[in-house]
Amino acid sequence: MALFYKTIIMVEYKFSYLFQQTKIIIDDTIKIKVGIINIKIKKQNLKAIYINSNDSFGELILRFDNGKGRIKNRRLAFSHGQPEAIALANYLVEHTNCEDLRSLDKKEALKKIKAANIYKASFKFATIIIFVILTTIFLPEFMHYFDSKHQTIDISQLITNKDLETSNVTVNGGMLLNGIWFQTTSSQSSTTTNDYFPLVPLNWKERNPIKIVVETGELSQSEIDDLFSQENFRGILKNKLWEGGLGKDEIDFFKKNYPNYKLDNNILVIDLQEPIYVIYLIIYGVVLVILFIIFLVLKKKMK
């Protein structure tokens, strides 16, 4: 009686992309390990393979039957120039009945296996994220720009009624605390200096917290003297969305230099400087145009 033995050959492939390690062991099944994820595919259930790549990285796409009546795709990423992924694709084509789609046009191949072009999808996602972030950054400025109303209000009313119909206000009945002011300087692409002056009601007592400060650009001594002589203060209340209040640096500076005075936790800031919202709109528009041009160029290259 003759005995016949079935010889099972085991092969192993490894490749990586960034910190992601992929290991594939093939014997009578295809075992895939990506990080902590483990997948098993029966050889006879492998339907098709395709490699989608560019100059920086690629992905081996396996289309298979999961054994439960569903056809799925598994994308295995690899860095550009790693031959193991190509060798794996060649081995699968040679030792299974899967369809090799590598000779097809990218658009046709991805359509056939119902897989999205990850490069296009990633770029579209990145474009949307940049647009959302950019819009979010400029949103308070847009709200101020389209706020055409103006309201004259007594300082006591402003303190008790923070939900105003407009941010453009002229505040009456207040005075600046003589000799109390603080300054912050930020140095990035250019140096910006802002001065802050507490604005309080005429009947304010030293034990009371300071609830309003006015903000200006850097002032000369004569400009500071003129400011202290004013009885009305016209400016823009910084109360749109998340803007408003003082930053940590300003609060720390005030506490250090004026320990006998207390700032209110919900302090209001009125900007007395001339608004530059048109400049913000121009910057926003220019960035959007540049982003749109880049989008069109890359979209054309990805076809």
pLDDT at 187: 53
Residue 255 has pLDDT above 90, yes or no: no
pLDDT at 300: 64
Average pLDDT value for the chain: 84
pTM for the complete prediction? 0.59
pLDDT at 67: 84
Give dist(CA 239, CA 33) in Å, integer: 52
Written as six digits, the tokens of 153 are 């209000």
Residue of 210, 227, 209 whose CA lies nearest to 218? 227
Written as six digits, the tokens of 28 are 């009578």
The order of strands in the sheet holding 20-26 is: 11-17, 20-26, 29-34, 37-42
Residue of 235, 227, 245, 238 whose CA lies nearest to 175? 227
pLDDT at 301: 56
Residue whose token pair is 């790693």: 82
Contact (CB, 8 A) for 78 and 60 = yes
pLDDT at 68: 86
pLDDT at 24: 93
pLDDT at 145: 86
Q: Read off the pLDDT of residues 267-278 as tens digits, 9 standing for 90 and up.
A: 899 999 887 877
Domains of the chain: 11-115 (2.30.29.30), 147-272 (2.40.50)
Residue 119 has pLDDT above 70, yes or no: no
Q: Read off the pLDDT of residues 53-81 as tens digits, 9 standing for 90 and up.
A: 877 788 899 999 988 889 999 999 898 87
Query: Greater confidence, 207 or 183?
Result: 207
pLDDT at 8: 61
Share of the chain above pLDDT 70, in %: 89
pLDDT at 1: 47
Give dist(CA 67, CA 242) in Å, integer: 52
Neighbours of 295 (CB within 10 A): 16
101-105 mean pLDDT:
91
Q: Which amino acid is at 194?
A: N
Share of the chain above pLDDT 90, in %: 31
Q: Read off the pLDDT of residues 124-150 as tens digits, 9 standing for 90 and up.
A: 777 788 888 888 888 888 888 888 899
Give dist(CA 263, CA 248) in Å, integer: 12
Residue 232 has pLDDT above 60, yes or no: yes
Would the CA dihedral through 254, 204, 211, 172 be positive or negative?
negative
pLDDT at 10: 84
Q: Read off the pLDDT of residues 239-250 as tens digits, 9 standing for 90 and up.
A: 888 887 788 888
Instruction: For helices 277-301 and 118-145, give the axis angle rounded to 10 degrees.
Output: 170
Lowest-pLDDT choice from 11-15, 81-85, 183-187, 260-264: 183-187
H helical segments located in 247-276: 248-257
